[in-house]
Amino acid sequence: MTRRSFAGVPDHVLLRNLAALVARDRATTAELLDHIAEVDDRKLYLPAGYASMFLYCLSELRMSEDVTYKRLQAARAAREFPPIFEMVKDGRLHLTAVVLLAPHLTRENAADLLAAATNRTKAEIELLIAERFPKPDQPTVLEPVAGTQRAPASNPVVRGETDATPQVAATSSKTLELVPEPVAPLDDASVAPAAVPVAPRARIAPLAPERFALQVTLSRATHDKLRRAQELLSHALPSSEIAEVLDRALDVLVASLEQRRFATTSRPSARRRSKSARHIPAHVRREVSDRDRYQCTFVSATGKRCAEKRFLEYDHVHPVARGGQPTVENTRLRCRAHNQFEAERIYGAGFMREKRADAKARAKAVVTRSSGAGASHAAGV
């Protein structure tokens, strides 16, 4: 759209129109939250080919990650506490306020807490939450001189190519370098025994084509494993660069996990017929995984294939309960959400709710029995 000209528009008219647009925007936002909450509640993202409402908003509705997060959290809170819709509509609450308040709202305190947060800024609401839901003091943090301090043994930081997020850019850029040299030992005299800067949350950020920055805080045990890997690779990788060590370690990890999950192997054994229709033989898992490209196979009515590659499960096209066999032709990959969606479509939502409730009850009973047995053993019974 082209920017309109405001020449000749009196100040009071401009302000009046702006206020009207803000009011309209609030009303639209409240209505949007209501629709998001209803679509989320009905799980309409599943038949559309998405494993979650978050992914639906991101890809189908073209929202950004932060916009999606804020509106989805606010929509779910408003679904549970309906007065939020009206408060957003008339401007008594902004979306940030709803997101901040949501984790603390209960049936008992909702009316009072929402009223107390009315017409407050983000900072004021944070203060309100701190007063009503106090947290313990944070440990004292001292700002280090650039390049002179290393993390203590209890919380070492491994760094590689620069990842200067806004939160950490205030500290020296030197402290954020993902250094290419080996991880420094933790038993020398230069290790600071006191506080160090709080490391930012682990994240991966793109730097350039085919290049990414990784910043993460490690436990002492993980740090020691990384150092040991550097030592063992010292002949093959004299520089012992962290990126190269991670690359080799991930090759081994991915291969191990793919073998366990999808029966991937370079030397397949002889095919064996399973005695149970519910057991899927290794050769079937391999062929199905390769055929389905390690991705959920659900396709919506519009031809949208679910892009989920996490929480994958093997699903029988023709259910085992109705005579389905664990063959390549009758097996497919589905994400957990679409596997459940298909089960509800076949057996009914009520039946599946009962099955899940029964499974939870059995799991809880097992945990209870195990706890009781452990307590009896400890008591010498």
368 exposure class (CB count in 10 Å sphere: 0-12, 13-18, 19+): exposed
User: Residue 331: is its pLDDT beyond 90?
Assistant: yes
Among 206-210, 293-297, 347-351, name the one with the lowest average pLDDT: 206-210
Give me the DSSP letters along 128-196: HHHHHS--PPPPP-PPPPTTS----TTS-EEEBS----TTTTTS-GGGG-B-SSPPPPSSSTTS-SS--
Residue 137 in domain: no
Predicted TM-score of the model (pTM): 0.67
Is 32 in the same domain as 128?
Answer: yes
Higher pLDDT, 22 or 190: 22
CA separation for the pair 286, 148 (Å, rounded): 51
Averaged pLDDT score across all residues of the chain: 82
Domain extent for 81: 11-132
User: Residue 105: is its pLDDT beyond 50?
Assistant: yes
Under the banding of pLDDT at 50, 70 and 90, the label for residue 120 is very high
User: Residue 366: is its pLDDT beyond 60?
Assistant: yes
Is 125 in the same domain as 38?
Answer: yes
What pLDDT, in 10s, does the model give residues 292-326?
999 999 999 999 999 999 999 999 999 988 888 99
Is 256 in the same domain as 295?
Answer: no
Q: What is the pLDDT at residue 210?
A: 79
Is 34 in the same domain as 70?
Answer: yes
Residue 357 in domain: no
Is 119 in the same domain as 177?
Answer: no
CA separation for the pair 32, 27 (Å, rounded): 9
Q: What angle do CA 73, 79, 82 make, to 5 degrees?
A: 120
Is 215 in the same domain as 300?
Answer: no
User: Residue 193: is its pLDDT beyond 70?
Assistant: no
